[in-house]
Amino acid sequence: MWSLVFTVPVFLTSMVFMYTPGPKHLLDTKILNMMTVGHLVRWILSTPVQFFIGRRFYTGSYKSLLHGFANMDVLIALGTNAAYFYSVYSVLRAAVSPPFEATDFFETSAMLISFILLGKYLEVMAKGKTSEAIAKLMDLTPDTTTLLSFDSQGNVVNAEEIDSRLIQRNDVIKILLGAKVASDGSVTWGQSHVNESMITGEARPVGKRKGDPVIGGTVNENEVLHIKATRMAKAPVQKLADRISKFFVPLDIFFSCSTWLVWFLARKFDGYPKSWIPSSMDSYQLALQFGISVMVIACPCALSLATPTAITVGTGVGASQGVHIKGGQALESAHKVVCIVFDKTGTLTIGKPQVVNTRLLKSMVLKEFYELIAAAEVYSEHPLAKPIVEYAKKFRGDKENPV
């Protein structure tokens, strides 16, 4: 919003008021030699956008270059700085070297930063609308899990309870009997059966032994398992975008410099008429303007910005419709599906147990019975404990803990 506060006046003074008789006369009023009021106003307004509002791009560029590669922040910083500092040079030269007339591009740097920030804002909005749906996917996994540490001989030396969101790739976690699997991974120790109905719709528990894959959010039913966490695969198109971005930025810089050099040398060797050069420029400035144009136009790379957003939104929309998509690779592969075979458990049905009827074999008040049952089950992680506790709440008439 602050970027728009400064950028809209810059746009008006450079693109609208210059064609309106009254404001144009005021903006063309000379302050010092050939430097005008319009030049100074645009310089003042674009400076906070370039260096304060746009400082995130400088930070991102620094961190990117520190790790040995150039990302889109580098391209944005180069393009906007080229436009900004060329404009500063042009305005200062007009102030000290008449009759030189300045041609500034302050609106280019300010508007580019504003457009990119607007794009990121819309991206966040799109992701935000799916956050509630994606939360349903997160609810499948437990809040905490047990992280195991090993010595050089492979013996367990420490077991620590951590937040499930802190699990890293190759961490080994312990899954207790009746507990949910906290992450996608593979079994490194133990044998058990895992209930995968909430993910795959498979009604019967699936046997798991060392080396077998397990899915985050499924339930371990028999014995303790040790799971080595793995990372969810990226979609093929996202991997392609990542590979392209590594080469895109250096190539764009190369083509920008090449454009400037070709136009500069073309004039030196009379490659185009001198009449092509505006009266307020020389051949060097004209060539520089073309080079800056190439760099600036390439800044907002749709592929690198749109791909992660599309995957996030697609996953969220699926979750809102009750379809749990395990990552971008599955989402991208879905267009190849020609036939779907349903097992009713967990797919065509709601996928979770519910208490539908109770029959007491001894004379006992149903309310008292459920108070006792809920007290016993309220802290259990067994998949049947939760529906029992939820059903018990109906007898209390409120949503308080039934213990």
Residues with catalytic roles: 343
Question: Which amino acid, one-letter code, is at 16?
Answer: V
Instruction: Using CA atoms of 334, 238, 118, 295 in order, give the dihedral in degrees to the nearest 10.
Output: -140
Q: Would you say the C-alpha torsion 245, 248, 250, 256 has a positive or negative sign?
A: negative
Q: Would you say the C-alpha torsion 25, 30, 35, 36 has a positive or negative sign?
A: negative
Q: Would you say the C-alpha torsion 99, 103, 106, 107 has a positive or negative sign?
A: positive
First to last CA, the chain: 50
Are 389 and 400 within 8 A, CB to CB? no
The 8-class DSSP code of residue 364 comes to: -
Element (H, E) at 39: helix 37-48
Rounded Cα gap, residues 302 and 123, in angstroms:
12
Rounded Cα gap, residues 379 and 376, in angstroms:
8
Rounded Cα gap, residues 189 and 175, in angstroms:
11
Rounded Cα gap, residues 28 and 40, in angstroms:
11
Query: What is the number of residues in the chain?
Result: 403
- The candidate with the shortest Cα–Cα distance to 208, out of 186, 228, 181, 230, is 186
Residues forming a β-bridge with 36: 30
What is the CB neighbour count within 10 angstroms for residue 13?
Answer: 22
Rounded Cα gap, residues 123 and 121, in angstroms:
5
Rounded Cα gap, residues 256 and 277, in angstroms:
19
Which phi and psi angles does 115 have, rounded to 5°?
A: -65, -40
Region of residue 242 (left: phi > 0; alpha: psi -120 to 50; beta: else): alpha
